Structure 1
Amino acid sequence: MARRLSHLGAFALLAASLPGVAAPQQVPPTASIVGRLVDVESRAPVGRARIAILGAHHEFASDSEGRFVGDHLASGTYVLQARAIGYAVGSWVVQLGDSETVTQVFELKRLPYVLDPVVVQRRLTFSAERLRAFERRRASGRGYFITAAQIEAEHPHALVDLLRNVPGVQMICAGASRCTVRMLRSPRNCKVDYVLDGFPATNSTSPDMATVGIIGIEVYRTLSETPLEFLRTDNVCGTIVIWTRSGPNEP
């Protein structure tokens, strides 16, 4: 009996001396993209460009030398998109391995300047400038547009009546009112941004607002659709731009 107890004691002493086995810890993603934006022809750096890593909700700007860093990324395939004033939108596919750092120069192509002969008799009114900008964005083919003629033909009571049939947009309503908009390609409970007459809208802007005075609507369902002038740093859920007849006064 004494010998058995001696063996048990020795086993317990040996077990106590062994190092403990630590539970595996989840390692945060450490892959990164180190890039530099340049003009494809002059090789000059492109600073203050808006850069987004689609699918990772990363958005940042290039510095004065065109440099940028997107870090804390998991391994996988990403689409990096850059927008800069005077340049066409650039998109590149980047593949990252575990803890890999991809260093690359990204080239942007300057937009051509085509000037037609123009005879200016008077300065355009602010309303005319807004309408021309609206039509220019509509002609680009990005986003979904609702014109004044379409609004008049629909006879809508509220904004929700105009947004209900927009492709890629889901209306979530509690009863006859209190509706919210969700872009189908955005995460759940992701609230869209509203822009009213060119300015960020207040919290009172919603799909339940009356359509009286609305003369145009622009719906941008993804980050890549949204024009530069309507982008914000936290803009990942889509943007609805509303134009009214009672916009800012003429200067």
Structure 2
Amino acid sequence: MGALVQVEGTGRIGATDSLGRFLIDSIKPGSYRLIVDHPMLDTLGITLVSAPMAFDVNSVTRTQIAVPSAEYLTALFCPAARRTLGPGALVGRVREPGTDEPAVGARVSIVWYDADIPGLPANLRIKKSPRVRETVVAADGTYKLCGLPTTYEGKLQAQRKDGGVTAEVPVSQSEGVLALRSMSVAALPKIASTDSGAAPVVRKGTARVFGRVLNASGGPVAGARVGLMGVSAATITRANGDFVLDSLPSGTQAIVVRQLGYKPTEQTIELSARAPARVTVKLGIFVPELSPVEVISARDQGLQKVGFSDRKRSSAGGYFLDPDQIEKRRAQLFSDLLRTVPGIRVSMMGNQAQLVSTRSAAGGGCVTVWVDGAEWKQLDAGDVDSFVRPGEISAIEVYAGTNVPPQFSTIGQSCAAVVAWTKLRVESRRR
């Protein structure tokens, strides 16, 4: 269904129905080939063309065009040596969002973990290493990741040579050997040089997204925070649930929506400077989804993946709160988790908590908050307490201004850094 069948050299086209049937009439007599155009075949870089066939006056020509099976295509794309690692394959295209040209040379990777062994007691932890497959986008814009299992939940990402990168896109396969997923990746925004010695300015993107946030019943969710993962762009939904985010990087990105009482929700979107994206996000009531043993397994794997475990192991000049320590604090607000952390003072300004670094010379240094690797843009002072519950936090890292790792530094500033990792990011089964 959904394939277009064209009589080569003519303007005659027909579309297939749910049974794969098509009808093309008013064909001039002669010998023609049929060309099949289908989104799946296009994604795979395949052009399906029939052998020449004769069309006579006042006659009906019947034909069948066979589409290659998933097993055949996987064997075609993947060398036998790769298929020994796993029978599955993930195939797609990676393009430039502004021009649709192939993103040749971009590196595509998928990360997943093997499924947990059923029946394990909750107190038994089994450390599992991430499974990784990588490849490079070919000249025609296609990529082929081979050696995958037939059942998995993972994260897919594409990165250009200049550093431009997509969001981590959730991908899953429950049956079959072939899955499809295409993406777009833009160049890394350039940093404008300055002659005055001032801090360099990062050029913003020009993409925009219009959206609406709804509850499970279809009603609008007002006052929800909507942010783009990996950058500090954020906004609040209006009374009708609508929101707008602009000056965004192009390509395959992900937004995260948070509101107290609802499950934080991540959704992948395609952004381009050519036209604004439009998206509707539905929030569900927050309820635990994983069993205790699944939570422990996913948590340990997730903290390893985001680098928390390695930085804690090496000290890295920081102070670390792991999941068990956070649980013991029984905090009511996010800022409560930081009240006894060395180098951080929590002070109140009205009803809002302010975080201050005590390690600066005057004892009133700035603090930058990072959530899931992105700088938290404060829409109101201390608003992290309004949108992130302590129960959503899996781990926290705190660094003084002189010891902040580069990925958590702010250009032109020497602020202390509070780095929080949420359960949405760390304990997701799609890793």
TM-score band, normalised by shorter chain: 0.3 to 0.5
Q: TM-score, normalised by structure 2?
A: 0.27
Q: TM-score, normalised by structure 1?
A: 0.44
Q: Which has the higher contact order (CA 8 A, sep 6+)?
A: 1
